[in-house]
Structure 1
Amino acid sequence: MKRLVLTTLAAAACLYTSASSAVTPVPSGATIIIVNGDPAGVGFNDPTVVAPVGGNTGTTLGAQRLNAFQAAASKWGATLSSSVTIRVMATWAPLTCTSTSAVLGSAGATEVFSDFAGAPQAGAWYGKAQTAKLTGSDPDSTTADIRARFNVNLGNANCLPGTPFYLGLDNNHGSKIDLVTVLTHEFGHGLGFQTYTDGSTGEQLGGVPSIWDFYLKDSSTGKLWKDMSDSERAASSLKSGKLVWTGAITNNALAGVLQQGAPALTLISPASIAGSMQVGAASFGPALSSPGMTGEIMPVVDSGISTGLACNPLSAANAAAVSGKIALVDRGVCAFTIKAKNVQNAGAIGVIVADNAAGSPPPGLGGTDASVVIPAVRITLDDGIALKAALAKRTRLHSNVYANLGVNMALRAGADLQGRMQMFAPNPYQGGSSVSHFDTGAFPNQLMEPAINGDLTHEVTAPNDLSYSLLRDIGW
């Protein structure tokens, strides 16, 4: 059996505290206990008197924090199956914070193991808690399974002031940040919802792929991460919409979880370019809908040979080209609403804004103008280049490139056309978020997206959520 330590834990005295510092385990499919690593007066030991809130009966700030941890542990404990106790070494500390952003917390496996007796997949890293579940014994009884750190300053001055953690257990968090939801998310990572491969460089930990990498595929190349070179993995981690999960349990379950229909620019013809492009929807104009708007695409060309800014009323030639068609324009110089209004005034039935800077997924189009009545979307720089290449053989009035601008009912929100869950692969790479989360296009929002959304439930199973389905794919 191979073993690697991922996290440097606090001193052993903090890991093994008195019995009173650990949450009493709840009878369930797995026993998860919280090991209190905080010093006196801090975090779980904060004696500040508080009133009970939202089913949390603790009467001190520390006790309420511990109860929230207990609730998240109980949710996963009731869901998982393991005969070995899972220990979470937890502390509260000042984490990165500003007046407008904050690191809420983090958690992950403390150690990984491969090639142990009974491993479902040879040559693959498994997190410590999952290794214990699969072997039926703790592979390192001196070390906790999961290390968790949470922001003790949240809500204070210069740390998202006025937005503290909500410590109630009923998800009635209002404008506050629901601690139980954040904890349930982070515990998911510690249980194995992550790759141990470095997505930014593509380098495998110790030259060994994670079990995660056996299910992660680049749909543009058809390769699984385990079979790629380092450079191929690094490139794949930036392909928003193209990085997908192949696990059968998740993909079979998503039809009962994700919404049918997703905003998209669906290219219909010619056949050589047919497919779906991700879009960022506009805050102005009509909302995208189904069956959407189908039309011929024509570019605006008012600066150079391929750039169409549409910041001024269109020339007669451009107006003739886009009238009755979906106009393609470039981002830059003027507001999105101005571009949309100018092509609308020229008779366009919709507008596509191609980004002028690399990045994915495409952000939405901001702005307000009630007089804009045509749909508008943004596509990435790369997709804009590909679309312009397809339009290069156009005549003055026709391109024969047809597309539907709307909600593609062949897609589920957060899945590709083959029904595979999409994973978070933005460009530029986001350390700590890229690859090891579901894509942000998933709807309803999923617990294991990179950001905690206010509409999340505390559930981890279908029909509400796909987190446990993915863990089952990797062997839980």
Structure 2
Amino acid sequence: MQMNPFSRTAARSLIAAAAALTCLAAEAATIKIQSRDPAGYGFNDPTPVKPVGGNMGTTLGEQRMNVYRHVADVWASKLESDVEITVSAGWENLACTATTATLGSAGAWNIWILEEPGQEPTLYPQALANKLIGENLSEGQPDDGSGYGNVDIKTQFNARLGQPDCLAGSPFYLGLDGNNGDEVDFAATLLHELGHGLGFSVLGVSTSSGNRVYGYPSIWERFMYDNTAKKTWLQMSAAERKASAINPLQLAWTGPRTVAGASMLASLPVVKSASPAGTVPTAPYTPSVFGPAVPSTGKLGVLAVIATQAGELGPGCSPFNAANVAAAKGKVPIISRGGCPFTQKVKNAQDAGAVAVVLANNVAGSFAPGGADSSVRIPSVGVTQEDGATLKAAVAAAKPYGTRSAPGQVTASLAIDPNRKAGADLAGRPLLYTPNPLVGGSSVSHFDVSASPNLLMEPSINDDLTLEVTPPKDLTLPLLKDLGW
């Protein structure tokens, strides 16, 4: 990523741009895709393919470009700019194994410092800076030798995805209809990544240290408010920004358009528990993406705690022994994350006779239990590490309130908190992704995974996404509008 200092005087910065924009509305954006692939590779791959999901290309390379063009047109129809947005696009052999893979990435390739009335000089991604100034700021600048040194956004995606040694059996789905099945929906993935390149990312801040790499704040920091520190990132020291980046469920986005759009978020689903030992706080949950759908209300079952078994990779990873079968049968075991897939934990609990499972995080923050296993027939939900510990403690505390033959029990049910939104703070402001420990490249620059419905700019591409970027489907465009788009 390059740092291109913006050296214009204040009279030619956003003061002049704002005056111009009051006189003439910007046109719909134009996005130009520049391929950097060599002959026979990537966009030029001649491998014959059949049309799929509305993509009528007849070669692999043609279908790839068709998806790029389709997604670029989605963004172009939503944005306004008199300056063409340029995207350098390429396919590369990115890191992967048979079970994991880097799908791709994108980001603003050039960053500019803009001056504004009442604000200290601020970092902007080039596409947005161009829109605000009304001209291509990198035009005429010498190239850095790469051939794409002056573009707005650089993207790269994994050309080997789906091969035996690269997330075997899960290639990119190149249809345009979202019917990707077990394949990775390339259109949704690209829509997400171009969102980052357009500005959906903190710029110039090391989230591991909180330091501003170039010495200037980014426009992103203006709208980040930490409910614990009660400060925006603009007001924080580097140490405070570092702490905020790993402060789960406490970093909110305050941009007015996004906050207004957050009314689309569903009411917060919670686990409510009745205990003879006293009140147990409600625990917000995220339903697992596998297994049967979780009802929004109704009895879940009696909670249970299982013991760690000798030699297992993690809690619930091995078939339950006799003691754990007795504890889980007909009940809802609380099983901590770690050691094996969520589906394996739930399947083992199911085989032991459990009626549902509560999966507790093993680090701070919310999470969405993922995976796929058609043999899982019981529901499961994910709760935070703190709430998991609270529920386990409630089970232990309830035992003395029973009888000699039947210890006291904690009964859990599912409910909706009408006063809270899933993925928002108490003030209704959307939350940013701040897990602890830090996830480099993802923390702070995404919506939190607790949002419901799932949002395009969460750190994972969920199967229920569409190519919509506005409410009532999504909040990405309102956030970009908060930045200046």
TM over 0.5: yes
The 3 A distance-change label for structure 1 pair 369 and 152 is closer
Partner of 1:322: none
Q: How far is 1:137 from its partner?
A: 0.7
The equivalent position to 1:186 in structure 2, one of 185, 193, 207, is 193
- Tell me the distance in 1 between the aligned counterparts of 2:414 and 2:470: 30
TM-score (norm: length of structure 1): 0.73
- Tell me the distance in 2 between the aligned counterparts of 1:449 and 1:434: 10
Q: How far is 1:54 from its partner?
A: 3.0
Q: How far is 1:460 from its partner?
A: 1.4
Partner of 1:130: 128
Q: Deviations over 1:419-466 (max 9, x none)?
A: 111222222222222211111222222111111122211111222211
2:334–2:360 contact (8 Å) kept in structure 1: yes
1:265–1:279 contact (8 Å) kept in structure 2: no
Aligned ranges 1:58-457 → 2 under 5 Å: 58-116=57-115, 121-141=119-139, 142=141, 143-196=150-203, 197-256=205-264, 258=265, 260-265=266-271, 277=284, 287=294, 289-290=296-297, 357-361=362-366, 364=369, 379-383=383-387, 397=401, 406-410=414-418, 411-457=420-466
Q: How far is 1:48 from its partner?
A: 2.6
The 3 A distance-change label for structure 1 pair 265 and 177 is same
The equivalent position to 1:472 in structure 2, one of 469, 475, 481, is 481
Q: Deviations over 1:221-247 (max 9, x none)?
A: 322222222232222222332222111
Partner of 1:18: none
Q: How far is 1:397 from its partner?
A: 4.6
The 3 A distance-change label for structure 1 pair 290 and 397 is same
Q: How far is 1:90 from its partner?
A: 1.0
Q: How far is 1:111 from its partner?
A: 1.6
Partner of 1:306: none
TM-score (norm: length of structure 2): 0.72
- Tell me the distance in 1 between the aligned counterparts of 2:272 and 2:171: 42
Give the counterpart letter for 2:133 in structure 1: T
Aligned-pair identity (%): 39
The 3 A distance-change label for structure 1 pair 268 and 429 is farther
Q: How far is 1:365 from its partner?
A: 11
Give the counterpart letter for 2:73 in structure 1: S
1:268–1:275 contact (8 Å) kept in structure 2: no
Mean CA deviation greater in 76-85 or 413-422 = 413-422
Secondary structure of 1:112's aligned partner: strand
Q: How far is 1:275 from its partner?
A: 7.5
CA RMSD of aligned residues (A): 4.6
Secondary structure of 1:207's aligned partner: coil
- Tell me the distance in 1 between the aligned counterparts of 2:162 and 2:348: 39
Secondary structure of 1:233's aligned partner: helix
Q: How far is 1:52 from its partner?
A: 3.3
Give the counterpart letter for 2:120 in structure 1: A
2:285–2:381 contact (8 Å) kept in structure 1: no
2:368–2:450 contact (8 Å) kept in structure 1: no
- Tell me the distance in 2 between the aligned counterparts of 1:210 and 1:432: 16
The 3 A distance-change label for structure 1 pair 58 and 264 is same
Secondary structure of 1:124's aligned partner: strand
The 3 A distance-change label for structure 1 pair 227 and 377 is same
Give the counterpart letter for 1:58 in structure 2: G
- Tell me the distance in 2 between the aligned counterparts of 1:55 and 1:285: 30
Secondary structure of 1:417's aligned partner: coil
2:43–2:91 contact (8 Å) kept in structure 1: yes
- Tell me the distance in 2 between the aligned counterparts of 1:262 and 1:137: 44
- Number of corresponding residues: 430
Give the counterpart letter for 1:155 in structure 2: G
Q: Deviations over 1:52-73 (max 9, x none)?
A: 3333333332222222111111
Secondary structure of 1:459's aligned partner: coil
- Tell me the distance in 1 between the aligned counterparts of 2:273 and 2:51: 55
- Tell me the distance in 1 between the aligned counterparts of 2:95 and 2:117: 38
Secondary structure of 1:35's aligned partner: strand
Give the counterpart letter for 2:241 in structure 1: R
Q: Deviations over 1:304-354 (max 9, x none)?
A: xxxxx999979xxxx9xxxxxx99998999x78999999x9xxxx999776
Give the counterpart letter for 2:131 in structure 1: K
Give the counterpart letter for 1:34 in structure 2: I
- Tell me the distance in 1 between the aligned counterparts of 2:63 and 2:183: 15
- Tell me the distance in 1 between the aligned counterparts of 2:104 and 2:338: 37
- Tell me the distance in 2 between the aligned counterparts of 1:79 and 1:185: 14
- Tell me the distance in 1 between the aligned counterparts of 2:467 and 2:335: 43
Q: Deviations over 1:340-375 (max 9, x none)?
A: 999x9xxxx9997766x43432565999998x9xx9
